[in-house]
Structures are given as structure tokens and as C-alpha cells.
Amino acid sequence: MWVCRVILCGVTRGVLPGEVGWFLRAGRGGAGGAVFWLGGSGGRLVVGDSRMGRWCFGLCFVGSVVLVSCEGLRLWVFVVLAGVLWAGCSGGDVENGSGDLSGVERSLVGREELGRVQAWAYQLQGLDGEGYARLAGLEADLLVVDGFDPDSAAAGVDVAGQVARLQEKGGPGLDRRIVLSYLNVGQAEDYRDYWQQGWRVGVPSWIVAADPDGWDGNYQVIFWREEWRRLVRGMVREAVRLGFDGVYLDWIEVYEDEQVVAFAAAEGKNPLREMLRLIGDMREWGNEALREIRVAGGSGESRGKKQQGAGEFLLVAQNAADLAEQGEQYFRLIDGIAQEQVFFDGAAGDDGPEGDCPLPATQKDVGSSGYVDSLSVGCGDLADLDISSEWYLERLTAFREAGVKVFTVDYALVPENISRVFSRAEAEGFVPYAAPRPLDRIGTVFGR
């Protein structure tokens, strides 16, 4: 689906016909299409590369010519044109979360199914057609991919079709896979469709700092600002439209970032409370979108009816294990938690190993000469090695005991390290995964 939206603010203020002109501005639309800006009014038209998208743009273009040429009729032409476009070209818009979802059909899953997951995998890069085909061949119950990956869009990947394909089979615990889309809730990323030309730290004001771990193009945000919340809501709804069962939330811990904390103090905000509010709202936004879709299958009576709680929009949080201290207030907001580098870490950029850097076993080992001396070249510079496996395990155990499904993703490449990851995690009742730190290829789903 595609959205053609015309906003002619200047028309009602008596803008001269010559001031209303169309021109193409390079950029990408929120739903993966091109962005056409309406000169003189600041309005925007988002269309796609499909036949419907081209039809929309053609109609808009013809309408604009008529609008410019007909002095006395320009307002009436605009009203009729806008009505036709709104009725005939509605669809998903990542930026504001609009669009009709009633035509999307698929079976739904929920927290119960997530609790039965026995194997999972996680890949964020290299998601072309071949990448998705390799994922489809895995014996895994849960897959996490980047549903908004710009490389997938550039390669012409039908993401909705690939998601449906991934859901066709299951793994050792489920007959039908759960597929989640990665979503960075604490950072703006300059390779996403919503990113606009000229954005940088300070522009807009809610982009406050570069990523502290060295990921290029990622920026910490003031996540409680309404502009950012609208973008997140749009991405949640787009994930539902694409057929994902939920989202996998990264950078929840941005509420602890020094820059973000400073802005919170200046604005009289509690950043932790605001993050919990955002997560709770994402649950509502997702379930709201699910209520607009049709459930596939079932009896003739149920087929075609609106979804009425037959499934849940799933939220799996990555990291922020210290939020276990919030107890039920946080446990009830999420369905699962996936913790990185419980036992092994790797470098985020190109200047270090992709994995096999062991964490300190206990808090007593953190910074000790014995531990530091044991690290291989390249591992000593990793900041995450100042937290122990013991620290993570204590907090993840609290999640498990509260009924929250626990996953781990460790950056281990050597077979003996992979085996250690799986044996330790499974002994704790967690579901492990081992992969290279860039997450650009499939790692190990089963340790042995």
C-alpha cells in the first residue's frame, strides 16, 4: 500500500497560482517510496515505486497542472483531488503511523508461544533474498531481523513476503516461527527512511549525541519528545503491516546516557519513567494495529472478522538487565529480554575482534590483574568487559523467575567458547545464541 497525501496549506491563504509548483526532492519516503515536495506550501506527497505509486504521482501531477492553470477553480480542484487521493491511495506511512491495516491477514501468536521457544537466531545485515533464504532454513522458533533494513529495500526485497515465508515453519518448540523486527527506540539512525537531509547532533534538537559504542550513523535521542514518539509509533504500525509478530527493542538503556539525563533534568523529566511509558505505549500501539487486521484461517464464521485479542503484539527488550530492579512495573511491560555479551563480547567496529572476548566471571574479577592479563590482543579495549557474567546472571534470573522469557546473544566464534555459552545459558533456563558481533551472518543456533 502507498500513501498519497497532499497538504496545500497555502491554497486556503490565497497563494497565487504561480507559487504552487511541483518539484522532486531527492529523498526516501517513510514506506520506502520517493518523497515529492510541494513548492510554496511545505506540503509533502509520499508515493512508492509500484504501479499504484506511479499512478498516484501521475494523478497528483496532472492535478497540480490544473490547479496552477485554473485561476477561479483552483480551490475546488484541490478539494476534489485531495479527496480522490485520500480514498484511493491510502497506505502505510512509517513517519506518522497512518494507513489502513484491515487488508493484512495472518495468524497471530502471543506470550504463550514465545515461552515455548527453544532456539533462536538474530541477523541485522546482509538481508537480501539469499540472506532470508538461509534464515528460512534454520531450525529456529524465533527469528529477529531488521524489517527496515535499507539494504533490503535497495535490493528490492519483498519484506512482507519474506516474513510470511519465515513464519511458514517452526523449530524444536513451535510449528510456526515467531518473527520480530529490530527497532532502535533510543537512537536515530541516518540510514533509515525517516532521516532527513541536514539532520545532525542538535538538528533537530532531540538528537543529542553520537553513539558511544562507535556505531557510525547512530545518535542518542531525547526519546520522550513527541516528534520521536510519532516516528516510533509509525515504525510499530509498519512492523504490523509487514506481518511481524512484534518488535525487538534496542537501546532501552539510553535513559542512562549522560546527555539524555542532562536534558531530562533541564526539562523536569524522569528518564526512566519516560522510557517505561514509551515501552507501554508501544505495546498499546502494536495491539491497536493488530485489532485492525484480519486473522487468517479459522472457521468461515471467524474468517474476515476483525482481530479480537487472538494474539498479542510481542515486545522483546535487548539489554537493560538492571531494569529487573523495577520488578513487576517492568516485567509486565515486556514478553522477553535478550541480553548481549553475557559470557563473550566482540568489537562493534572494524578495530577489534568480532568475538571471543570473555567477560569477567565474577565481580571480584572485574579489573583484576589476572583477568586483564588473560585477555587477547584487541579484547582489552572493550568497555563492556567491566561487567561480569555473574552480574548479568543474577538479573536475568529475576526475569526468568517473573515469567519473562530470557534469551542470550554472545559474540563467540571458537567452538569451545560456543559450547561454553550454550551449556552455561541452558543450565540457567535461558535460550542462547552465538554470533559474530556485526550480526551480518548467521551464527550458531545449537551449541552441540
User: pTM, whole model, 2 decimals?
Assistant: 0.78
Torsion of CA 301, 302, 304, 306, to 10 degrees: 130
Q: Given this model, what pLDDT does residue 58 score?
A: 53
Digit-coded pLDDT (tens) for 193-216: 999 999 999 999 999 999 998 789
pLDDT confidence tier of residue 97, bands split at 50, 70 and 90? low
What is the model's pLDDT at position 89?
Answer: 43
pLDDT band at 93 (very low <50, low <70, confident <90, very high): low
Q: State the pLDDT confidence band at 393, using cuts at 50, 70 and 90.
A: very high
Of the candidates 343, 95, 296, the residue with the CA atom closest to the CA atom of residue 196: 95
pLDDT in tens, 6-55: 333 333 333 333 333 333 333 333 333 333 333 332 333 333 333 444 44
- The chain-wide mean pLDDT, for the chain, equals 80
Residue 383 has pLDDT above 80, yes or no: no
Pairing type for strands 336-340 and 405-410 reads: parallel
Which pLDDT tens digit goes with each residue over 144-172?
999 999 889 888 999 999 999 999 999 99
Q: Does 380 or 327 have the greater pLDDT score?
A: 327
Q: Considering only residues 70 and 392, tell me which one the structure prediction assigns the higher pLDDT.
A: 392
Work out whether the CA dihedral 359, 364, 369, 370 comes out positive or negative: negative
Task: Name the residue among 93, 100, 97, 103 with its Cα closest to residue 47.
Answer: 93
Averaging pLDDT over each range in 79-83, 106-110, 235-239, which range is the top one?
235-239
Residue 305 has pLDDT above 60, yes or no: no
Residue whose C-alpha is closest to residue 2's, from 68, 75, 93, 109: 93
| First-to-final CA distance of the chain | 44
Sketch the domain layout of the chain as residue ranges: 11-88, 106-434
Cα separation, 227 vs 234, in Å, equals 11
**Owner of C-alpha cell 509509533:** 233
Q: How confident is the model at residue 107 (pLDDT cuts 50, 70, 90)?
A: confident
Please state which CATH class domain 106-434 belongs to. Answer: alpha beta
Count helices and strands in the chain by DSSP H and E runs: 13, 18
Nearest to 344 by CA among 395, 415, 406: 415
Using pLDDT thresholds of 50, 70 and 90, give the confidence band for residue 87. Answer: very low
